[in-house]
Amino acid sequence: MKLHAESNGKKHEIELRRDGDKVFAKIDDREYEVEASEPEPGVFLIRQDNKIYETAVVASADGKKTVSLRGIDHEIVLNDPKRLRGAGNTNEHADGIAEIKTAMPGKVVRILTKPGTAVEKGAGILVVEAMKMQNELKSPKAGAVKEIHVEEGSTVAAGDVLATIE
């Protein structure tokens, strides 16, 4: 997975690959091999060279993430260039139905809302686990949840429609 990141006014290219508990990361021109686990939501243990680092990650509604490491908070904005290419106009879903789809195969671990619920743009709708990472899928627009097409525990394929918002 390739991402663009911005932190403290600096832009970085990130490439991530996971193999079991091992994570291979290339940030700009530096490469890292670490072991990572998430013992509780938003808390990660990262092991590198027999040292263990605990990090906490808090996401805000505007897409920014605050990562706390060694007592220092780092504000980070991550962008997936693949999603940016298909993002379209910000008003693309203003009228009509918006679909929430998976980007990769995984398992639905939590449904955060139910049909008929009014939601704001960016509100969490459901959580899918893929490659041992949990991803909260959010509403692309303000509206109402029309339909949830899956149940907790369901296995989903890349591109499956999980929910619709109108």
Q: Indicate yes or no: pTM above 0.75.
A: no
Kindly state whether residues 6 and 62 are assigned to the same domain: yes
Whether 157 shows a pLDDT value over 90: the answer reads: no
Structure confidence by residue, pLDDT tens digits, 15-55? 988 887 788 989 999 999 998 887 777 888 889 988 998 99
Domain end residue (candidates: 81, 106, 124): 81
What pLDDT score was predicted for residue 103? Answer: 74
What pLDDT score was predicted for residue 87? Answer: 41
Whether 88 shows a pLDDT value over 60: the answer reads: no
Contact 55, 46 (CB under 8 A): yes
Contact 46, 35 (CB under 8 A): yes
Structure confidence by residue, pLDDT tens digits, 53-74? 899 888 876 678 888 988 888 8
Q: 89 lies in a domain?
A: no
The boundaries of the domain holding residue 104 are 96-165
93 or 162, greater pLDDT: 162
Q: 8 lies in a domain?
A: yes
19 burial level (CB within 10 Å; 0-12, 13-18, 19+): exposed
Phi-psi region of 42 (alpha: psi -120 to 50; beta: other; left: phi over 0): left
